[in-house]
Amino acid sequence: MSTTVAVAMSGGVDSSVAAALLSAAGHRVFGIMLRLWAEPDAPQAANRCCTLGAVDDARAVADRIGIPFSVIDVRDAFKAAVVDAWLAAAAAGETPNPCFNCNRRVRFGLLLDQAVALGADALATGHYARTRRAPDGTVELLRGVDAAKDQSYVLHALDQAQLARACFPLGAMRKTEVRATAERLGLLVAHRPDSVDLCWTAPDGAAGFLGRHLPAAAMVPGEIVDLAGRRLGTHAGLPRYTIGQRRGLGVATGEPVFVVRRDAVGNALVVGPAEALGTNDVIVRGMHYSGGAAPDGPVRVTAQVRYRAKAAAATLTPLPDGGAAVRFDAPVRAPAPGQGLVAWREDDTVVLGGGTIAAAA
């Protein structure tokens, strides 16, 4: 049955092919691109998700496949929901993932509301994920078929109302198929590189952005010490570093060392060998369950402690405060407070839910 679908377009190959496939399938399709906030005083002050070139590319794709296209300015809302929240978490000593808020509050929040107001039945994106209706009527979120590109991790916070209107045309495809499809359709973005890193920062990335936007009191230099407390060097402000980081530490010990802990009380960066990063137990706060309700008790899952981490077998136990205790069968590497822990049912396909890592033992 033909439906009206809004497509969140970025000028990239994924959203372009998503729009083309939906149009070819006979749906009424229109494209919307979001103009997002970028650091105004930095060199090349344009959000990498919506540069002038990206807008031109998205408009050219829309013209090629014959669909309407528009740009919506959400810079202020994006800054409040994503950038400011990320800064606040970083100032509190955490390593947040901004994609969670962007997908939940901007793409499937502001943009979905706008799309529905314009007559859309669904909002499509170029994410590599899938949905399906379960026998009990709930909408399940599934991994994308392409394991190397699966993005169900960054979509885990969507609720049932959002999932019911979500459309992921690329979920059953592999990236190579998507690029080949774009080439076959004559889309000029067929070989455009994928975007990486934070989209709103200047070329010096997250560390430079934090240095310019966090209060000076949060960026006070301090000692880098080993696990025995021996001084090895000086750090440039704790928020610039994350658990598990190896590069950019500026210390020489004769063997690789990694950030093991950020000691906010002593303003010290604690480093150690790779084996010091492993842990079996992680406490998560603010668990969101895709089906809407927490399990009645402990459940077997596979879980990831960061986007590109390998999924590992674990037992997840819901806690009375709305969090969860997750015990991995084998140690996982460097779970960082502020990052997301996302759990899939034991089949490692259907998202159970996820939350924010509060602590690791």
Of 49, 50, 102, 167, the catalytic one is 102
CB 54: neighbour CB atoms within 10 A? 21
The CATH homologous superfamily for domain 276-360 is: Translation factors (2.40.30.10)
pLDDT of residue 50: 76
The structural architecture, per CATH, of the domain 4-184 is 3-Layer(aba) Sandwich (3.40)
pLDDT of residue 193: 86
Distance, first Cα to last Cα, the chain: 51
Question: Residues with Cβ < 8 Å from 143, sequence gap 6 or more?
Answer: 129, 130, 150, 152, 344, 348, 349, 351
pLDDT of residue 61: 97
pLDDT of residue 48: 77
Q: Is the dihedral of CA 349, 351, 355, 359 positive or negative?
A: negative
pLDDT of residue 41: 66
pLDDT of residue 198: 83
- What are the residue ranges spanned by the domains of the chain? 4-184, 220-272, 276-360
Task: Give the predicted TM-score (pTM) of the model.
Answer: 0.93
Distances (CA, A) of 3 to 109, 120, 122, 300, 339: 20, 8, 8, 38, 37
Tokens of 241: 């570093």
**Is 199 designated active site?**
yes
Q: What is the pLDDT along the chain (361 residues), one digit of tens a residue?
A: 569 999 999 999 999 999 999 999 999 999 999 999 988 865 455 777 778 888 999 999 999 999 999 999 999 999 999 999 999 999 988 999 999 999 999 999 999 999 999 999 999 999 999 999 999 999 999 999 999 999 999 999 999 999 999 999 999 999 999 999 999 999 999 998 887 678 888 888 888 899 899 999 889 999 999 999 999 999 999 999 999 999 999 998 889 999 999 999 999 999 999 999 999 999 999 999 999 999 999 999 999 999 999 999 999 999 999 999 999 999 999 999 999 999 999 999 999 999 999 999 7
Which of 358, 350, 346, 347 has its CA nearest to residue 322?
358
pLDDT of residue 1: 58
On the question of a common fold for 220-272 and 276-360, the answer reads no
- CA-CA distance, 62 to 153, in Å (whole number)? 29
pLDDT of residue 203: 82
In CATH, what number does 220-272 get? Answer: 2.30.30.280
